A and B are shown apart, each in its own frame.
Chain A
Amino acid sequence: MKSGILILALISFSAWAQVSNDCVPLNVPTVDIKDLQKLLDWHGANAEQIEKAPCKTVNPPSAKDLDDFIKSKTAGSANAQINGVNFQNESPALIEAFKNFTTAKDGFGIFPEPDLQKNFQVDYKINPECQKVRCAMEKIWGKGLSEKILYLNLKHHFNSSEFAFQNSDRFTEAEMNDVLMGIEDLPAHLIPLGKDNQRLTHFKRGYTLKNYDSNVVANAVVMLFDSWDTEPAREKQYTIFHESSHNVSSKLGNLDESPEWLAQSSWVKTGDNWTADPNACQITEYGATNPWEDFAESMSTYRYNAQAFKTKCPKKYEFIKTKVAKGIEYIEVKSCSPISEEKLKLAQNSILEKISDSLHEQTFSAQEVSKACADSFSYPPKDEEMKKCSVKLMTSGQTNSSNRIAEALSLAQIPDTQANRDQVLSGLGILIANDEALKLKMIEKAKGIPEAIESIVKTSISEAIPKEMANKPLDSEDYSWRIYQEACRAQVFQAISKDDFAHCHLKTIIKKDKDSERWNSGYFSAYKAPPLFKAEALTALEAKRDAALEDHLMSQETTKVAMKKVEAEIKETLSWHNRHESVLLYEMKDWKKKTPEEFCSLTYAKSSNMLSSMGVKEGTPIPSIQDWCVKKQSEKNRRHEFSDEEWKEYTESVLK
């Protein structure tokens, strides 16, 4: 590698200096020539290999590319004032981007730095001439650079504004080209990569971070240092790719510390130190330092020196291929080239035609119906839901055919990789949505779905509930059944287990109790008067469970398991104190068998507590209450519902 001296220093990663006294002036780098050979192996590809890597991005996006992309992201309209600048009728996405570019934060973009905040209207006199973000940015950065900064942000979610992060300097347009070309060497499915308006800036020129030596080229924050400036273009891009790879790991859930990745080299961490199995296959010397660099170097070598990587470390190569690259390989152009519009259309149309031709013979399983319709149905299904479900069902049924996709890819001469399959299928949804004729055909075909759903529901519940429930038609008006439908429908679609079903079923019973008019306005509401029927939650639950078991003939064993879940849930989530009426129903469910005297005796016992709460001393004789209650009950020949007023009136009369 001609410039291996600098490449070796790429060394990546973070470190921070908040203020200029933490930055240190650079010394001229010196590298011992005898270390040169060692340096050559520090990274996974040399300049020539990078240059020749298949599907390498060789040009930055053109002015038209930039314009087209930015316009595609600028829907909507809003007014705003951002850091002194007014915008009128501007896209909210662009306003947000401008805010990110011009709001000063610390070096990581974590905490605001109000002392560094600029007023851009004062500094750049943007209004009134400019009322739009692109115009304002042009005044600040110039036409070419401003468009690239905006594109990098909108497409890749990186922020390269020198105003946004402490100790940053402005990129030149040529440097920005290398940044874009490095980033766009990533597989398309990993874009956008930046996280939360992430930094990707040039560090303050002439300085580096304390603890860094002058060879450090970049870090994963991402900061680029002066040494990066002196690299040839392709190596600059390698650096960007390497640092991006750390972010790829982050995007994929810290893949570089996943047990599967650590197992590749038997990485072990003791305290702060990492050690690998000395016999593990390491693709570069730098990668051997820790699993994070191992991952970033593997990614970079996979991208720029694939054949060597595959030959030397086939297991690691396979890991990157399947876990990161979705099957895209960079060994030859045909295995990595982006799909042209023409090829994409050819493959998609081929699939559409086959879908259309074979709809008449399509059948669908209960599982497919459940998967396609579970989220889009209310009961009974509405027309719109029916259409949505039909199209989804037909499409998923058809496109899940691996052979069909393979045939379409082959016809269009597209390499059969997961990434390419994803791309073809994701575009297919839009095509189907716009193809009214095909949609109608699918809906027509899917007319049997309701029957299929009914069959699924019945199969699912037949093992879990009594036959008389299972045999009810889906449109039954039966109250219990409807409540059950509402509560358990989604679970039924997913073919729930017997225990889960019982859990759901008991929940419906509780819901039914709570909602029942019978409970809330009928005979037992006599007991609502005294606010003292607040049975302890668990006692009430016991009663409730017994009643539920009696009433619904649930399988004892299944119910016990389910009730345990319900009890735990109810303890956490339900306020039983507010539902005492419902609870009392169970305590007094045999009220009809009681005489007015017995009934009032119970009422009296409870109401005396209420009187106590009203200030009546314990032991105060209130002899007439029983008589009064019995009289009232007998007069009306029913269980009189005592109102709050009546209780109060009576109590006061007794006290007098």
Chain B
Amino acid sequence: MNRIGLIALFICLNVFANSSWQQEVKTFLPKPISEFKTRQTTLTEVEKNLGKAQHIQGTRYYWEKDGLKYALELTFESNVLTSLHYTFTGKKPDLILLQKHINLKNFTPFPTEGKSIGRFLKLEEKGSELIIDPVSKTIYSVRLP
């Protein structure tokens, strides 16, 4: 293999190694939410797709889905999307789909408020957050910066 081939292989391997649960879980989001891009998508564009937010708290905008108030939380700064939080509704993605990308040792109990330590597990990483339901072995919600 020549030098260029080796470099290409290195890049491919590097890209593969960096494939993350964040990238993977984004593919499970329903359209058009999966198409929103942080630091690119504007509030106007989102509203074109989803309509006006049903609830607003400061910079956070909320939309209902499948009867869940509010399955979607989008944060905007200067009209640009900075963070996305989505709670899966209906049939939730199987945890096994993330097997290659997550280590259960890194999860902590959720929720943690008061005396309740919660029925879910949470993984926090570089501003992202993944919550899983260990009983149904499914992905419950995700926050992506």
Q: Is the CB of B117 within 8 A of A111?
A: no
- Stretch in A45-53, A130-138, A266-274, A646-654 with 4+ CB within 8 Å of B: A266-274
List residues of chain A with CB within 8 A of the CB of B21.
none
Segment of B4-12, B37-45, B134-142 engaged in the interface with chain A: B134-142
**Which A residues are CB-close (under 8 A) to B95?**
110
Residues on A with C-beta less than 8 A from B112 are 211
Decide if B109 touches A108 in the complex (CB within 8 Å). Answer: no
Q: Tell me which residues from 47 to 82 in chain B have a Cβ below 8 Å from any Cβ of chain A.
A: 55, 57, 60, 62, 66-71, 73
- Is A42's CB within 8 Å of the partner chain B? yes
Does chain B have a CB within 8 A of A330?
A: no
Can you list, as one digit per residue, whether each of A602-622 has a CB less than 8 Å from chain B (1) or not (0)? Answer: 000000000000000000000
Minimum CB–CB distance for B121 against chain A, Å = 6
B107 at the interface (CB under 8 A from A): yes
Q: Are B136 and A195 in contact (CB under 8 A)?
A: yes
> Which listed residue, B87, B104, B113, B119, touches A110 by the CB 8 Å rule?
B104
- Which chain A positions have C-beta within 8 A of B71? 269
A11 engages B70 (CB within 8 Å): no
Residues of A within 8 Å of B73, CB to CB, are 270-271
Evaluate contact between A15 and B67: CB separation under 8 angstroms. Answer: no
Bound-complex Cα distance A16 to B108 (A) = 7
Chain A residues in 8 Å Cβ range of B105:
16-19, 22
| B contact residues around A272 at 8 Å (CB) | 85, 110-111, 129, 131, 141, 143
B28: CB under 8 A from chain A?
A: no
Tell me if A238 is interfacial: C-beta within 8 Å of chain B. no
A16 contacts across to B, CB distance below 8 A: 104-105, 107, 109, 121, 134
A6 close to B (CB within 8 Å): no
Find out whether the CB atom of A14 lies under 8 angstroms from the CB atom of B70.
no
Per-position contact with B for A248-277: 1 when CB-CB < 8 Å, else 0? 001000100111001000011111100000
Are A289 and B117 in contact, CB atoms less than 8 angstroms apart? no
Q: Which of A139-147, A212-220, A462-470, A568-576 contacts B (4 or more CB under 8 A)?
A: A212-220
Q: Which of B105, B118, B136 has the most CB of A within 10 A?
A: B118
Give the Cβ gap from A181 to chain B, nearest Cβ, in Å.
Answer: 22
A458 CB to nearest chain B CB (Å): 41
Beyond A110-B96, A195-B136, whether A270 also contacts B70 by CB under 8 A is yes
Docked Cα-Cα span, A215 to B116, in Å, equals 11
Query: Which partner residue on chain A sits nearest B87 by CB separation?
Result: A269
Residues of B close to A262: CB separation below 8 A: 67-69
With A110-B96, A211-B109 as contacts: A42 and B115 at CB distance below 8 Å: yes
**A13 on the B face (CB < 8 A):** yes
Taken together as a complex, chains A and B put the C-alpha atoms of A19 and B103 apart, in Å, by 12
CB distance from B21 to the nearest CB of A (A): 15
Interface assignment of B120: CB less than 8 Å from any CB of chain A: yes
Check B114 for interface membership: any CB of A closer than 8 A: yes
Q: Indicate if the CB atoms of A246 and B134 lie closer than 8 Å.
A: no
CB distance from B96 to the nearest CB of A (A): 7
Cβ contacts under 8 Å, A289 to chain B: 111, 113-116
Q: Which of B57, B109, B129, B134 contacts A270 (CB 8 A)?
A: B57
A215 to B104: give the CA distance in the assembly, Å.
23
- Known: A18-B105, A110-B104, A195-B135; 15 extra A-B contacts, CB below 8 A, are A12-B119, A14-B119, A14-B135, A15-B118, A16-B134, A108-B104, A258-B67, A259-B68, A262-B67, A267-B69, A269-B68, A271-B60, A271-B143, A272-B129, A289-B111
Residues of A at under 8 Å CB distance from B? 8-9, 11-19, 22, 42, 106-108, 110-111, 195-196, 198, 209-212, 215-216, 219-221, 246-247, 250, 254, 257-259, 262, 267-272, 286, 289-290, 292-293
Q: List 13 A-B contacts (CB under 8 A).
A: A13-B120, A14-B135, A108-B134, A211-B112, A211-B117, A219-B119, A259-B67, A267-B69, A268-B55, A270-B70, A270-B73, A271-B85, A272-B131
Residues in chain B within 8 A of chain A (CB atoms): 55, 57, 60, 62, 66-71, 73, 85, 87, 95-96, 99, 103-105, 107-121, 129, 131, 133-137, 141, 143
